[in-house]
Amino acid sequence: MTPALELEASLYRALHRGRPGDVDFYRRAATGAESVLELGAGWGRVLTALDAELPRAVGLERSPALAAMARADGLDVREGDMRAFDLGERFDRVFIPYGGVYCLLTEEDLVGALRCARRHLMPDGLLVFDAWSADAFHAEAEAWDEQLFEAVDEVEVNGERFSVSERTRWRKPQQRLDVSYRFTPTAGGESFHDELPQRYLLTDELPRLLERADLELLVIHGGFDQHVHDEESEQLVVTAQRPA
Ligand SMILES: C[S@@+](CC[C@H](N)C(=O)[O-])C[C@H]1O[C@@H](n2cnc3c(N)ncnc32)[C@H](O)[C@@H]1O
């Protein structure tokens, strides 16, 4: 792996630290399961906890650099694309944590991933995914196009500190929110850029999308404390089932 790819993966890892309570939520969602598959496993943040408790925990990740990081920590993370994959086995649970579903930029990509998730589930097995809740944001009357870079965080990688700024472009009709990150070494030097295109989902769409993948929507929670989702909710936490 080139040093540039390694640095990009390390910056990604330093910035994407998850949401409070999400790892515990997924541990609870795995109660009674023997096997779990995580799609978009990243560097193994959630899978590490699942791997410690379950006989079988497998991850799938598109980024070779992030998958390599997870494997270096002893996790079984394969390189692959959740829109089309076949691992040749079935799991009690399939999880897509922390906005992984928003990385799927068209409805066909999303339905492709949901169908693959279904094929990898045992009968009655559960698919669980979470992302930020977009309903209230989408309902905002005034859509904006592009913002200026705005400082959002500071991270440290290999002893070097970087200030992180973010710029988003919102295309409301497409439900697209394209985020650009700029990482600037605080000691001076060249900045790095990373792009995170997202297509967010609205709760109204979920029954139809899941049905297209022959999955049954069981519940939509509004947070990891499992309150029922409403318009105030900050999280969208979806549980669906593969019919027997
Ligand atoms: C927000 S991160 C979540 C990482 C990890 N699940 C966690 O909770 O920390 C989304 C992950 O999905 C991966 N990803 C995006 N599109 C993918 C695809 N089509 N197939 C597999 N992985 C994908 C990204 O590379 C990234 O690691």
For the chain of 244 residues, list the mean pLDDT of each consecutive stretch of 10: 79 87 98 98 97 98 95 98 98 98 98 98 98 93 72 88 91 91 90 92 97 98 96 96 95
Q: Pick the atom of ligand 1 nearest to 100's CA.
A: 10
- With a CB cutoff of 8 Å and minimum separation 6, the contacts of 188 are none
| Same structural domain, 22 and 109 | yes
The amino acid occupying position 91 is: F
Question: So what's the pLDDT on residue 141?
Answer: 61
Measured between alpha carbons, how far is residue 204 from residues 134, 184, 229, 231 in Å?
11, 39, 12, 12
| Same structural domain, 154 and 214 | no
| Same structural domain, 83 and 127 | yes
| Same structural domain, 110 and 170 | no
Return the residue matching tokens 């094929």: 119
Q: Is the CB of 16 under 6 A from ligand 1?
A: yes
| Same structural domain, 27 and 13 | yes
Q: Pick the atom of ligand 1 nearest to 96's CA.
A: 6
CA of 157 to the centre of ligand 1 (A): 20
| Same structural domain, 113 and 222 | yes
Q: Is the CB of 75 under 6 A from ligand 1?
A: no
Q: Which domain holds residue 162?
A: 137-199
Structure token digits, residue 154: 């500071």
| Same structural domain, 87 and 175 | no
Q: Is the CB of 153 under 6 A from ligand 1?
A: no
Q: Is the CB of 46 under 6 A from ligand 1?
A: yes
Distance in angstroms (rounded) separating the CA atoms of residues 40 and 61: 5
Q: Pick the atom of ligand 1 nearest to 113's CA.
A: 19
Q: What is the CATH number of the domain that holds 98?
A: 3.40.50.150
User: Which residue in 220, 218, 227 sits closest to 203, CA to CA?
Assistant: 220
Question: So what's the pLDDT on residue 194?
Answer: 87
| Same structural domain, 207 and 183 | no
CA of 41 to the centre of ligand 1 (A): 6
Q: Is the CB of 79 under 6 A from ligand 1?
A: no
pLDDT, tens digit, 9 for 90 and up, residues 162-181: 999 999 889 899 999 998 98
With beta carbons less than 8 A apart as the criterion, state whether 50 and 83 touch: no
| Same structural domain, 35 and 7 | yes
Question: Quick check: pTM over 0.85?
Answer: yes
Total of domains in the chain: 2
| Same structural domain, 60 and 106 | yes
Question: Which of 5, 51, 103, 179, when mutated, tests ligand 1's pocket best, judged by the most ligand atoms within 8 Å of its CB?
Answer: 103
| Same structural domain, 188 and 104 | no
With beta carbons less than 8 A apart as the criterion, state whether 175 and 113 touch: no
| Same structural domain, 112 and 223 | yes
User: Which residue in 77, 81, 133 sits closest to 102, CA to CA?
Assistant: 133
Vertex 177, ends 214 and 77: CA angle to 5°?
55
Torsions phi, psi of 223, nearest 5?
180, 175
